[in-house]
Structure 1
């Protein structure tokens, strides 16, 4: 291992030296083309960049990776070119934006860090892909699934308004920080990425990061599946990933923490595969540390990757527990995750406390467990949930009988994460998508089970076709109801089948009509300088932020659960200012009573009806509040 580390160190120094020569080639040729030709500047830049890439490839191919050249020269050049383009255009730019806009770094220093990250990423990818064993080849069926899924998810992302959580994560993006009250920072960065690039804040733009990352995750899942099953079964794994609601809705359309988690989860598992079943070079340990760290920056659940890796080694390969690579992996993971730890240390460990409190409870609650199972069956659909139960049993049996290494992989990185959250559900309510990453791994053995049965048995094909057709019909109905209110819930209430409160609490209304907030403010010529806005619920405050595109100061007056606003609002100097209290018929308050001690006086309340399908769907209320005397008392300590 020491020899391997030394080899990789020397190889990286060679790679860096070649990169330095590329800078000289790039700038030199750019100068020649600009000064002595009539070509447009952008074309001069493209030619200079591509020439430097080719010269870098030639030097790396004959010097840096001379001992690992395999395949055709043009094939290696293609992979090298693609890796360099991705690292330069995406990694460099993303790190630059994150450091400059999020953390306030000077742009030149931020750019240097971006270059450093892109160089490191480029080296790792070329080591593993261009000059390694991985070959990212895809059959035509994979690309059909890729583009069909992308088009479908773009349609839904554009056609549905933002939900409460999504608008709240957009509020994250307006307040760049190392971390947040209830989640690490990546979800805020992703929610604000395309609004920043396009200058447009909408449900579609805040979701675009999730939509595109999910498409890439599908390709990576296919590669992971190919390590265990043949091409046709790997295609099925990707298909299952793209047609299962728990995956494509919660990670592939809506902007949630899972959008970042799933791609880094799969990238980490690709590195784990090489560590556990191949040579496990230093680059693999380093890549695993980077991706685990970013998984944890996406969602705290990412810590399970390291936990189950150590558990796997304890049970199956204890020699690797002494490997320097494992400690390098842990060190890199901690370094990547350290911004969240630092932020928490400055805020009384508030997010760690909040999230851990959601995992413990008082006594066994079988009703919570039943809700968890029912939710997962609904999100997975019975067509997938029931076969998954069989796969759970089969994998566990094979591991106990010591039949298969792949089954051990499925057990530790698929079944055990699911079982952990089901165990938690015996004590506390859990959200169905908490188990999402475990089920993603199980698309591989599930594909291996379904693919031959689908080919050989007519009844299996019939079940699949009927189930997919039913799911499409259900999604169509839900989409149309969300947009146009086609389901007459009011008539069901009139007949006593549901309550009037059930109509009012229709969850699809969470994604409808919030743009009316901005219409009201514009029509009444209310400017950000004249008032600040607040609501009694963090969900409503998030919708106000998205509807007004971040123009107004927005707060949440709630002494019980203001979420991130409980920290953000402490930093605002709004004493003495006038405000407008926003609320809805679902979350109704009387501001003159509820906030009597906060304001000197209260004015009139305006109401605005939101229509859907020609009927009033909900009512928005705006109450004038004059001269803020004191802020509400947030339930968190004054940690800054």
Structure 2
């Protein structure tokens, strides 16, 4: 029989899932999301930017893209994160009881990174979070226990799911680091068991697949990420550092950030001494410190450390066990209001300053919400003209992975057209490999771009396209106001 808090947990996860389905069905793809659709369309054992798991998830939930729309593709994030929320309940219940587990689920839904960024939008973070938490759950049930003989199977499962997390996103290597750090500090007897070393076979397989792909591609992923996350380079970058700190506060909710600081202080002052809480600390703090350190020298992204904050949540739930639960429910209601407001901001342009660029090629350049608005509108207006002028047999070229992926999904896909990336690898990313799947470009191609990412067609002169002709300039309207333009050029050799 289910406990009352377990029933509350399941009901709340269902409410959260319905909310995220509503959001997913109401918004067009963002730049990153539509790019990861390419992982499913062109699967491989690894990719330039990330390991391939997000593409495999999309293939699974869409029946290999048989159902190909925003909502179904985003189910590859929504469903895994719903499962991950229940795993958080199990982890927190293991630490104390089902009430703490329920509080942990409430806190998870207050985390913007968990609820929206990885729980609604399709990113590599969704499968990584699911597998990380599964691995963490089995690790906390094995290595934190004194009885080794009863925990070996759980230990192997922990390694297996950690391997799958690594095959989703590189950050998951920090879970392995946390395990080793905890064992060396508290459970050194595990080092005397063959099971512990046997478990590393799973992560090594995942790393081996990624390594093999890079070996056959000049180790391009390592070079790319090495330039982004170099540990020893440059001088203090105050802008990047402040952006990272503020980003972590906002992405993970200021209230949860505050609780995280209190939790770390409680551990430091030994007010909380349960060994399981130290395991939480060892699996979260190294990644947090690494991202903050990297931001001192390099531009970083706040969601890189998101899984660390999620790992802290069971500890935060224990910390606030005695506060009234209704406060957290009210917090979720406030979060819901904010999300609906954000949705209307994207769809109706509410609270968003209108760009006043007189030059149409720059209209909307500063409006980031346009990355998730207007592409369906552009598809309808441009597709009908391309069909009318019998231009759908021509390939489309772009100089950057964005907006190339948007053009690929919303314009090329429904018209069965091909998109090529022309430019250096740092700009075109996966299109470098996609190009090789197609026949060489012809003397006539189409170039499609929008005013948020506009580049003059002369950039393709080095590719032999010396002449261009503007064949369509499409205004994109939001709430009756033109917010950007999409341009279609015909290029000639």
Global fold match (TM > 0.5): yes
Q: Residue by residue, what CA displacement relative to the aligned partner does 1:518-556 show, whole Å, maximum 9, x if unpaired?
A: 321344217787211122221111101211337321122
Alignment correspondent of 2:379: 518
Structure 2 residue 329 is the aligned partner of structure 1 residue 505: no
The structure with higher relative contact order (CA 8 Å, sep 6+) is: 2
Compare 171-180 and 421-430 and name the one that shifted more: 421-430
* Maintained 8 Å contact 1:377/1:385: yes
Aligned to 1:568: 434
Tell me what 1:407 maps to. Answer: 277
Q: Structure 1's 184 and 190: CA in aligned 2 closer, same or farther, altered over 3 A? A: same
1:322 paired residue among 184, 192, 206 = 192
8 Å CA contact 1:157–1:253 kept in 2: the answer is: yes
* Residues 105-160 of structure 1 deviation map (CA, whole Å, 9 limit, x = unaligned): xxxxxxxxxxxxxxxxxxxxxxxxxxxxxx99972101111110010000000001
Q: Normalising by the residue count of structure 1, what TM-score does the alignment of the two structures yield?
A: 0.70
Q: How does 1:145-224 map to 2 (within 5 A)?
A: 145-196=12-63, 199-224=66-91
Q: 1:199 to 1:137 in 2, by over 3 A?
A: farther
User: Match for residue 395 of structure 1?
Assistant: 267
Three-state SS of the structure 1 residue aligned to 2:427 is coil
Q: What residue in structure 1 maps to residue 182 of structure 2?
A: 312
Q: 210, 215, 227: which one pairs with 1:345?
A: 215
- 2:156 pairs with 1:295: no
More deviation, 274-283/262-271: 274-283
Mapped to 2, the partners of 1:389 and 1:287 lie a distance apart of 31
1:555 aligns with 2:420: yes
CA contact (8 A) 1:395 1:410 kept: no
Q: Which residue of 2 aligns with 1:141?
A: 8
Q: Residue 464 of structure 2 aligns with which residue?
A: 598
* Separation in 1, partners of 2:399, 2:7: 52
Further displaced range: 264-273 or 201-210: 201-210
Give the TM-score, by structure 2 length: 0.90
Could you tell me how far 1:379 is from its partner in structure 2?
1.5
Q: Structure 1, residues 64-114: CA drift from partner, whole Å, max 9, x if none?
A: xxxxxxxxxxx9xxxxxxxxxxxxxxxxxxxxxxxxxxxxxxxxxxxxxxx
Cα deviation, 1:228-286, whole Å, max 9, x if unaligned, reads 02211110001111232121111110000101000100110112112212345432232
Equivalence for 2:399: 536
CA distance in 1, matches of 2:399, 2:22: 33
Aligned equivalent of 1:579? 445
- Mapped partners of 2:122, 2:352: distance in 1: 29
CA RMSD of aligned residues (A): 2.6
Alpha carbons of structure 1 residues 277 and 579: separation in structure 2 relative to 1, 3 Å:
same
Q: Is the contact made by 2:363 and 2:451 (CA closer than 8 Å) also made in structure 1?
A: no
2:409 corresponds in structure 1 to 546
> Which residue of structure 1 lines up, in the alignment, with residue 351 of structure 2?
487
**Correspondences of 1:6-17 after superposition (within 5 Å):** none
Q: How do 1:436-475 residues align onto structure 2 when only pairs under 5 Å count?
A: 436-454=306-324, 467-475=331-339
Of the structure 1 ranges 370-379 and 409-418, higher mean CA displacement relative to structure 2 is found in 409-418
Q: Whole-Å Cα distance in 1 between the matches of residues 140 and 32 of structure 2?
A: 34
2:480 aligned with 1:614? yes
**Alpha carbons 2:144, 2:276 under 8 Å: kept:** no
Please give the secondary structure, in 1, of the residue aligned with 2:109: helix
Q: In the alignment, is residue 333 of structure 1 matched against residue 203 of structure 2?
A: yes
Residue 177 of structure 2 contacts residue 283 of structure 2 at CA under 8 Å; is this kept in 1? no
Match of 1:433 among 303, 322, 345: 303
CA contact (8 A) 1:171 1:545 kept: no
Tell whether the 8 Å contact from 1:365 to 1:428 is kept in structure 2 after alignment: yes
1:258 equivalent to 2:119? Answer no
d(CA) in 2 for partners of 1:409, 1:314: 11
Contact 1:310 1:321 in 2 (8 A): no
**Cα offset, 1:490, TM superposition:** 2.0
CA contact (8 A) 1:532 1:580 kept: yes
How far apart are the structure 2 equivalents of 1:186 and 1:527?
38
Does structure 1 conserve the Cα–Cα contact (< 8 Å) formed by 2:281 and 2:312? no
Does structure 2 retain, via aligned residues, the 8 Å contact 1:195–1:205?
yes
Deviations 1:269-327 (A, max 9, x none): 11211221234543223212211111011001111111221122222222322321121
What is the CA-CA distance between 1:414 and the residue it aligns to?
Answer: 2.2
Q: Who is 1:94 aligned against? A: none
Distance 2:49 2:65 in 1: 27
Q: Secondary structure at the match of 1:177?
A: coil
Deviation at 1:501, TM superposition (A): 6.9
User: Aligned partners of 1:610 and 1:515: how far apart in 2?
Assistant: 10
Report the structure number with the largest CA radius of gyration: 1
2 CA distance for matches of 1:521 and 1:209? 28
Partner Cα distance (2:461, 2:341) in 1: 41
Once the two structures are TM-superposed, the CA of residue 488 in structure 1 deviates from its matched residue by 4.8
Counterpart for residue 247 of structure 2: 375
3-state SS of paired residue (1:606): strand
Counterpart CA distance in 2 for 1:193 and 1:417 is 30
CA contact (8 A) 2:140 2:276 kept: no
- Does the CA-based 8 Å contact 1:533-1:582 persist in structure 2? yes
Which SS does the other structure have where 1:555 is aligned? strand
Instruction: Show structure 1 runs of 5+ residues with no match.
Output: 1-74, 76-134, 456-460, 495-499, 628-640
